[in-house]
Amino acid sequence: MITLNYIASFFLIALGLYCIVVKYNLIKTVIGLSIMDYGVNLLIITIGFHPGGTAPIFTPGELNPASFFVDPIPQALTLTSIVIGACVTAMSLALVIKLEESYGTIDTREIRRLRG
């Protein structure tokens, strides 16, 4: 239960949401999407932590009821989420490139249907 991590993760989520909503540069919007994803990843990892636990990697003979390890499931969820975040970034940047080609600008105040 690391309080600082939880505070930081919710701060990152809020910061990412602020960037998405307020910024009118498309690249900054994409950065905001990524920051939001990283905040959630930090939240997931922190939820799985047990103080004093070891890494959840055991050979078949080592595992016994006294072993105390951190939760492996949130680590698996985080890996999946990191990959999803990378795909989001790639896809949104591809769209930004096509938008720049067709409008010559990445300012949402200029691009006709992206105002607001």
| Footprint on this chain of another protein (rule: CB under 8 A) | 13, 17, 20, 26, 29, 33, 36-37, 40, 43-44, 47, 73-74, 77, 80-81, 84, 87-88, 91-92, 95-96, 98-99, 102, 111-114
Give the closest residue to 16 by CA, choosing from 43, 39, 42, 45.
39
In whole angstroms, the minimum distance from the beta carbon of 62 to another protein comes to 20
Angstrom CA distances, 44 to 7, 15, 39, 102, 112, stand at 13, 17, 9, 39, 38
**Residue 69, φ and ψ in degrees, nearest 5:** -130, 160
In whole angstroms, the minimum distance from the beta carbon of 25 to another protein comes to 13
Q: Which is nearer to another protein, 54 or 93 (CB)?
A: 93
Instruction: Give the count of beta carbons closer than 10 Å to the beta carbon of residue 60.
Output: 5
In whole angstroms, the minimum distance from the beta carbon of 56 to another protein comes to 15
